[in-house]
Amino acid sequence: MSRQSVERIRKIIQPCGLSPQKSKAIRELSKILVEEHEGVVPQSFESLEKLPGVGHKTASVVMAQAFGVPAFPIDTHIHRLAQRWGLTNGRSVVQTEKDLKSLFPESSWNCLHLQIIFYGREHCTARGCDGTVCGICRELYPKRRKAVATKK
């Protein structure tokens, strides 16, 4: 990828969205991996987060899924679900990550974040569930009659 033009990368990743910025980041990230890391993806949060286009969530996904390091990647969907389910009252993904890490054993983090994502996609979508229709919402709050407003 480090040898490809930004335009070529953009055409490849266009279906993912935000391709102009992502394509530049992928090209620069690829150059850095080749030049500074001998073509090997670094295995630390600090090194990953220094790469263009890699924030804390992406670094957490890489550490968890590629290297098996316990991490709890939090995206906006997990953030909204955790609020809806009463697992956090945090206004930021940083607070939500801290809260979820304190609630669940470290050994479950790598699988649990994926389970929440998949459950949410199927049953409790970020914008499509009002907090009264999915099985978890109904189980947690059987007397709930009004939709829950989540903080972004």
* 88/130 Cα distance (integer angstroms): 17
Q: What CATH number labels 76-140? A: 1.10.1670.10
* 120/106 Cα distance (integer angstroms): 21
* 81/3 Cα distance (integer angstroms): 40
Q: In the prediction, which pLDDT does 65 show?
A: 96
From the list 24, 31, 50, 57, the catalytic residue is 57
Tokens of 76: 């906006």
Model confidence at 147, pLDDT cuts 50, 70, 90, reads confident
The yes-or-no answer on residue 99 being catalytic is: no
- Contact status, residue 101 vs residue 72, Cβ threshold 8 Å: yes
Q: In the prediction, which pLDDT does 84 show?
A: 87
The yes-or-no answer on residue 146 being catalytic is: no
* 23/45 Cα distance (integer angstroms): 22
What are the pLDDT digits (tens) for 89-141?
Answer: 988 999 999 999 999 999 999 999 999 999 999 998 877 777 777 899 888 88
Please tell me whether the overall predicted TM-score, pTM, comes out greater than 0.75 for this model.
yes
Mean pLDDT of 5-19: 88
pLDDT surpassing 70 at residue 150? no
Domain ranges of the chain: 1-40, 43-69, 76-140
* 96/82 Cα distance (integer angstroms): 7
* 71/62 Cα distance (integer angstroms): 9
Model confidence at 149, pLDDT cuts 50, 70, 90, reads low
What are the pLDDT digits (tens) for 23-67?
Answer: 999 999 999 999 999 999 999 999 999 999 999 999 999 999 999
> For the chain, how big is the Rg over CA atoms in Å?
18
pLDDT surpassing 70 at residue 7? yes
pLDDT surpassing 70 at residue 152? no
DSSP 151: P
